[in-house]
Amino acid sequence: MKTKMLSPMGSLHPFLFFAVVYVVALFFSIFICSSLFYSCNASPSKVSSESLVPAEKTVYTAASVTKGTVAIR
């Protein structure tokens, strides 16, 4: 009689597959939840006054006001 040599890896394959899928899903869920938590609880960014670009000033000339048009320079 021949003895059957079955590998224990073959019988554990479904269990190992679902264990790996569970670990990967757990890792991604922790990563996604922590990134959402930190983005919701982030403090507002501080903008320094040096980095702001001054807005262009509007110049009204006497000729443009009398003609009814406004020149922006």
For tokens 């048009």, name the residue: 69
- Residue 35, in any domain of the structure: yes
Percentage of the chain lying above the pLDDT 70 cut = 49
- Residue 30, in any domain of the structure: yes
Percentage of the chain lying above the pLDDT 90 cut = 32
The yes-or-no verdict on residue 17 having pLDDT over 80 is yes
Per-residue model confidence (pLDDT) at position 24: 97
Domain with 28 in it = 12-41
- Residue 49, in any domain of the structure: no
**pLDDT band at 20; cut points 50, 70, 90:** very high
For tokens 């019988």, name the residue: 11
Across 2-27, average pLDDT: 85
- Residue 72, in any domain of the structure: no
- Residue 18, in any domain of the structure: yes
For tokens 């938590």, name the residue: 37
- Residue 20, in any domain of the structure: yes
How many folded domains does the chain comprise?
A: 1
- Residue 29, in any domain of the structure: yes
The yes-or-no verdict on residue 65 having pLDDT over 60 is no
